Amino acid sequence: MSYFAAALAWLFVALALMVAGLGFPAVHLASPDTLVLVHVVCIGWLSLAMCGALFQFVPVLVARPLFSEKWALPALGLLTAGLVSLLAGFLGLGGRLPAWLWLLPLGAILLAGGFGLVVVDLGMTAWLRPVGPARFVLVGLASLCATVAFGAMFAFTHAGWAGSIGETILANGVPLHAIAGLGGWLTLTAMGVSYRLLSMFMLSPDVDDRKSNMTLAAGALAIAVAVVGGIVAIWLVSGLNVVLSIAAVLGLATAALYGRDLIGIFSGRKRRQLELNTRMAVLSFVSLAAAAFLGVVLVLTGAFAAHVGAFTFLAVFGWLSGLVLAKLYKIVAFLTWLEAYGPVMGRTPTPRVQDLVAEARASKWFVIYYVAVWFGTLTLVAGQPSAFRAAAAMMTIGLAGIVREVIRTRRLADVAGSLRLPNGACTPCLLCARA
């Protein structure tokens, strides 16, 4: 719960920055202000939320206990301190704070320490039984290592501590950093976790290993071509166009194969009536398909470089953030139910997981959020920064409503009075689980 709470707090920070006009599209994509916004979203929001979900679900994926329960809290502390230091360094780089550029390497070291604990803890857990979705997690963790390595090199270069090699990598390696982070760490991991969550919540058979392995192979190859091939291209001073084109084709193939797997999960489900989290996850899958389509159109028209911000925005907030919010809504309800009523199961009547939520009331907030994301994408394509800020404000309203519903779930506010707190049950703490 602490990871989820911290992640949602950072998402509110990111939306506030967009509403205020700090970062892209008000300024250039490579500006320090945009770097602040990007890292708040990718580290503060998406990575913390992903880590929190993985600490809970990797043991489920492999049917083994977590390698070390004690590492989760120190990792959260290091990641938070590292992100704050990194953001302060970026603000100094842009002249908004004193130019203490040593904060950038410090932030990189702290983040490397925090993510290092996460990678070892989750990696050792998944490695015990690397089958099915756990393989996606392992590839995602490897991509996270590459992302952190690139980011650390960039931080040291901005501080003037990496020499000419660092300058060369910084000048050419940003796309590789983004692909490893968004494509490898966040997208492949989200795909792997979604296989198990969708099958679990819809009572569907697991995806055949041969099919999921094909999807994973395409995705892993796309990341490997981008990262390894990109490094070689930078070393040989030959340009990245060919490498990125090959990686893009493999990425499209991964998305198509993932879509095939999703169709299989939905068609084989035993639960015909979809819960809200699944219906909203469908909108995130639609956003992923729309992002892929938009990317193809932009490449074919030669406008990808001019509109890369719109493509990234749709992928980050429509696909990744939408999926995380949809599943977070269910995960919090499920974990709260286990914590509150697990100890008294079988001894007294207890509510169902669905009794902890009010889906009809919550659905409108998700709709507001997704519509705002799609509208924001159109404003970016049209080059309308003022309209984009209005879209960000709409997203904030939708997110506030979703968070309110999550808090109500955590407080058991929608459970009928007679079932709310039977003897032996207790209201869970808001930000952490009771021991």
User: What are 59-102's pLDDT values in tens digits?
Assistant: 988 888 999 999 999 999 999 999 999 999 999 999 999 999 99
What is the radius of gyration, based on Cα positions, of the chain? 21
Structure tokens at 376: 């924001």
Q: Report the Cα–Cα distance between both ends of the chain, in Å, rounded.
A: 13
Burial of 308 (0-12, 13-18, 19+ CB in 10 A): middle
Return d(Cα 227, Cα 17) in angstroms, integer. 30
> What pLDDT score was predicted for residue 423?
78
**Nearest CA to 223 among 100, 138, 308?**
138
Return d(Cα 260, Cα 187) in angstroms, integer. 16
> What pLDDT score was predicted for residue 292?
95
> What pLDDT score was predicted for residue 433?
66
Return d(Cα 248, Cα 221) in angstroms, integer. 11
> What pLDDT score was predicted for residue 350?
85
> What pLDDT score was predicted for residue 434?
59
> What pLDDT score was predicted for residue 406?
95
Q: H-type helices in 237-358, by residue range?
A: 241-267, 276-300, 308-313, 321-341
> What pLDDT score was predicted for residue 63?
86
State residue 132 phi and psi, 5-degree precision: 55, -130
> What pLDDT score was predicted for residue 426?
79
CA angle (156, 97, 159) in 5-degree steps: 10
Ranges under pLDDT 50 in the chain: none
SS3 (DSSP) at 415: coil
DSSP state of 229: I
The b/e string for 161-193 (b: 16+ C-beta within 10 A; e otherwise) is ebeeebeebbebbeebbbbbbbbbbbbbbbbbb
Q: Which residue bears the tokens 């992100």?
A: 83
